[in-house]
Amino acid sequence: KAGVTQTPRYLIKTRGQQVTLSCSPISGHRSVSWYQQTPGQGLQFLFEYFSETQRNKGNFPGRFSGRQFSNSRSEMNVSTLELGDSALYLCASSLEAGHTGELFFGEGSRLTVL
């Protein structure tokens, strides 16, 4: 069974640009969550989608957005990039949105903003 796949794995952007990251969950999983990981801050929750609906949202500015497609694949977009957006962006999938179960993480997309 294939795991959570995130693309691209690495990318470099400059300030002001925008970026789109993609996440393909494990087959059959309908919930996808996104986290930003930075040294000293741990994992900061961005948002969660379940059956194409945003169920939860973290405390990030509106420059951060996401969506989920009918096949459960998800994308997140960051517009007008800032230096502080440099981070590892992790996607996690789960069977349901209630979080009584396990989150399955991808290896992440490492974004560097110059």
Under the rule (CB under 8 A), what is the footprint of another protein? 4, 33, 35, 40-43, 45, 48, 50, 55-56, 58, 90, 92, 97-100, 102-103, 105-108
Token output for 64:
């951060």
**What is the rounded distance in angstroms from the CA atom of residue 54 to the CA atom of residue 16?**
26
We find the least distance from the C-beta atom of residue 52 to another protein, in angstroms, to be: 14
Token output for 83:
């230096």
Helix (H) / strand (E) element for 13: namely strand 10-13
What φ, ψ does residue 84 adopt, rounded to 5°? -70, -5
Token output for 33:
């969550």
* CA contacts within 13 A on the Cβ side of 54: 12
We find the least distance from the C-beta atom of residue 54 to another protein, in angstroms, to be: 10
Residue closer to another protein, measured from CB, 28 or 42: 42
Residue closer to another protein, measured from CB, 70 or 100: 100
We find the least distance from the C-beta atom of residue 33 to another protein, in angstroms, to be: 7
We find the least distance from the C-beta atom of residue 31 to another protein, in angstroms, to be: 9
